[in-house]
């Protein structure tokens, strides 16, 4: 037995990051390590963060959470993708679907045949080959099939849920797995002589000692920055939005199985339908618009009665220079912030927890382990950042903020991807990137980045009757969607909030 093993873990913060971390560690460490979580009801959590991406299913599955119970407990809905409205220019729209565009029928990727048909005058939009979009616009939902011969196998999905209900759901789970919760405000972070954290002290005098500390304290980064000064890399020159106003509103009978993002003059607005309400927010750049104007824009675009006062949130896009420093790991908003354009923050919590478990330390805290965690996390943040920048950069809008982001210098890996797509329609996402080729394709085509040519191999494979295959796919997608229940029917049948 290694007597250098971690005996006590202290998690500071009980927002989505704190409780996801507590639930995953509680389950993985099987009661062999004391886990304390401290949170302050007085400070509260950020309270937004309602849309997710497909890998969240894996997080819940690993915890053994039943999907129907989870949807019921969180007032959740299913999400088939994101509709982007007015992003390229006012009046234009496109959909970023989860899953594949059609079923591949040849070694030449489908979109090259689609590009060829387009060059011949066929104006069928690419998204007609995405089951997720055709289902989403009909308000339909059902889980994908595991049979690769069925077009239903090309679908993927995520969830939209009430963040505070999700945290409460995970709290019950974590406490069942031995996590001890303390209520109170951390007022001091005490360091050992070697600069590692010894304990955190609460306002009421309690001290929580630990071997490993997880900073889930949100934007303030109480431990990682406040005590350990890990540093922050500011990305506002690429992602200039720095504020958001959020307000929930009522909705009508139907709740759509997708998130909508609508561009405005100095930012964009989210619309996330849940069972009991719609989450809305306007993300904007304070250099180009005042808080009052941003609030008015949001309120003017609500589709139902506001269910509360609008709330202002400030942020700096970027990432912590060191996510793991000494015996402290930052997870959640304390680790960095990428605006919620592609709903990635909760995913970054999920991968940080998995990575921590994959590189779990002992009390020696080998710097090699820490460095690997930081390297992998930095790369992940940077690749997501590049995908977000693409949405802004490839636009034809005329307002000053949009002209600025269209003209700015972009990171080199994004320029590389753009050059491949513009030149040859080729997609070059690496295997471990979060956003894979179908994701890049959706946004590149959606933002009207048109390739100069398609894959020359398409013209050399004369035995492939692509025109017929594409028409057959469209038919199969339509028939599949016709047979699907509406999202409301599916939820009423299996997972209605009680």
The set of catalytic residues is 79
CA dist., res. 70 & res. 189, Å (int): 35
For residue 17, say whether it is annotated as part of any ligand binding site: yes
Burial class (CB in 10 A: 0-12, 13-18, 19+), 42: exposed
At 207, which helix (H) or strand (E)? Answer: strand 207-209
Near ligand FAD by CB under 6 A: residue from 10, 11, 14, 82: 14
Near ligand FAD by CB under 6 A: residue from 108, 131, 224, 244: 244
CA dist., res. 58 & res. 67, Å (int): 11
**Contact flag: residue 39 with ligand FAD (CB under 6 A):** yes
CA dist., res. 498 & res. 494, Å (int): 11
Q: What are phi and psi of 151, to 5 degrees?
A: -65, -20
We find the least distance from the C-beta atom of residue 347 to ligand FAD, in angstroms, to be 6
Q: List strands edge to edge, sheet with 93-97.
A: 93-97, 81-85, 259-264, 267-273, 278-284, 243-249, 311-314
The piece of 39-47, 229-237, 387-395, 402-410 that touches ligand FAD (CB under 6 A) is 39-47
Near ligand FAD by CB under 6 A: residue from 35, 126, 151, 163: 163
Q: Would you give the end-to-end CA distance of the chain in angstroms?
A: 47
Identify residues 176-215 at the interface with ligand FAD (CB under 6 A). Answer: 185-186
Nearest to 124 by CA among 132, 392, 329, 116: 116
We find the least distance from the C-beta atom of residue 157 to ligand FAD, in angstroms, to be 15
Number of other residues whose CB lies within 10 A of the CB of residue 254: 11
For residue 313, say whether it is annotated as part of any ligand binding site: no
The piece of 47-55, 363-371, 381-389, 454-462 that touches ligand FAD (CB under 6 A) is 47-55
Entry field: residues in the chain: 498
We find the least distance from the C-beta atom of residue 247 to ligand FAD, in angstroms, to be 11
Nearest to 370 by CA among 434, 336, 413, 320: 320
136 vs 484, which CB is nearer to ligand FAD? 136
**Contact flag: residue 38 with ligand FAD (CB under 6 A):** yes
**Contact flag: residue 316 with ligand FAD (CB under 6 A):** no
**What is the contact mask toward ligand FAD in residues 323 to 362, using x (rule: CB under 6 A)?**
---------xxx-----x--x-xx----------------
Residues annotated within a binding site for L-tryptophan? 342, 346
Task: Enumerate binding residues for ligand FAD (CB under 6 A).
Answer: 12-18, 38-40, 43-46, 48-52, 163, 185-186, 216-218, 220, 222, 244, 246, 281, 313, 315, 332-334, 340, 343, 345-346
């Amino acid at each position: 037995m290694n007597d250098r093993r971690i005996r006590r873990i202290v998690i500071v913060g009980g927002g989505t990051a704190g409780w996801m971390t507590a639930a995953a560690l509680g389950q993985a460490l099987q009661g062999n390590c004391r886990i304390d979580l401290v949170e302050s009801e007085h400070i509260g959590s950020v309270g937004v963060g309602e849309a997710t991406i497909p890998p969240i299913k894996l997080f819940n599955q690993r915890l053994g959470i039943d999907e129907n119970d989870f949807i019921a407990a969180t007032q959740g809905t299913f999400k088939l993708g994101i509709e982007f409205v007015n992003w390229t220019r006012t009046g234009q729209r496109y959909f970023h679907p989860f899953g594949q565009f059609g079923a591949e029928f040849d070694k030449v990727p489908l979109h090259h045949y689609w590009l060829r048909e387009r060059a011949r005058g066929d104006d069928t939009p690419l998204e007609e080959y995405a089951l997720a979009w055709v289902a989403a616009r009909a308000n339909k939902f059902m889980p994908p099939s595991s049979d690769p011969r069925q077009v239903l196998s090309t679908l993927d999905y995520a969830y939209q849920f009430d963040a505070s209900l999700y945290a409460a759901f995970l709290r019950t789970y974590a406490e069942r797995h031995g996590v001890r919760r303390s209520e109170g405000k951390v007022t001091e972070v005490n360091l050992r002589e070697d600069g590692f954290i010894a304990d955190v002290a609460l306002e009421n005098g309690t001290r929580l000692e630990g071997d490993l500390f997880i900073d889930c304290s949100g934007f303030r980064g109480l431990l990682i920055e406040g005590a350990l000064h890990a540093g922050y890399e500011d990305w506002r020159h690429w992602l200039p939005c720095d504020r958001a106003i959020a307000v929930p509103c009522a909705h009508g009978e139907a709740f759509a199985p997708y998130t909508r993002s609508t561009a405005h003059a100095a930012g964009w607005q989210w619309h996330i339908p849940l069972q009991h309400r719609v989450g809305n927010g306007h993300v904007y750049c304070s250099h180009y618009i005042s808080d009052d104007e941003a609030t008015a824009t949001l309120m003017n675009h609500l589709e139902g009665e506001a269910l509360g006062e609008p709330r202002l949130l400030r942020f700096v896009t970027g990432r912590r220079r060191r996510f793991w420093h000494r015996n402290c790991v930052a997870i959640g908003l304390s680790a960095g912030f990428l605006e919620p354009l592609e709903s990635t923050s909760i995913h970054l919590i999920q991968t940080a927890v998995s990575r921590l478990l994959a590189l779990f330390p002992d009390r020696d805290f080998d710097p090699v382990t820490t460095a690997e965690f930081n390297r992998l996390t930095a790369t992940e943040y940077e690749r997501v950042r590049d995908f977000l920048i693409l949405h802004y950069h490839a636009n034809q809008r005329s307002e000053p903020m949009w002209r600025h982001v269209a003209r700015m210098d972009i990171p080199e890996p994004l320029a590389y991807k753009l050059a491949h797509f513009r030149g040859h329609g080729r997609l070059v996402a690496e295997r471990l990137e979060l956003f894979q080729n179908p994701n890049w394709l959706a946004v590149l085509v959606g933002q009207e980045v048109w390739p100069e040519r398609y894959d020359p191999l398409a013209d050399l494979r004369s035995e492939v009757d692509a025109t017929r295959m594409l028409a057959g796919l469209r038919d199969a997608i339509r028939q599949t969607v016709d047979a699907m229940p509406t999202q409301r029917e599916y939820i009423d049948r299996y997972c209605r909030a009680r």
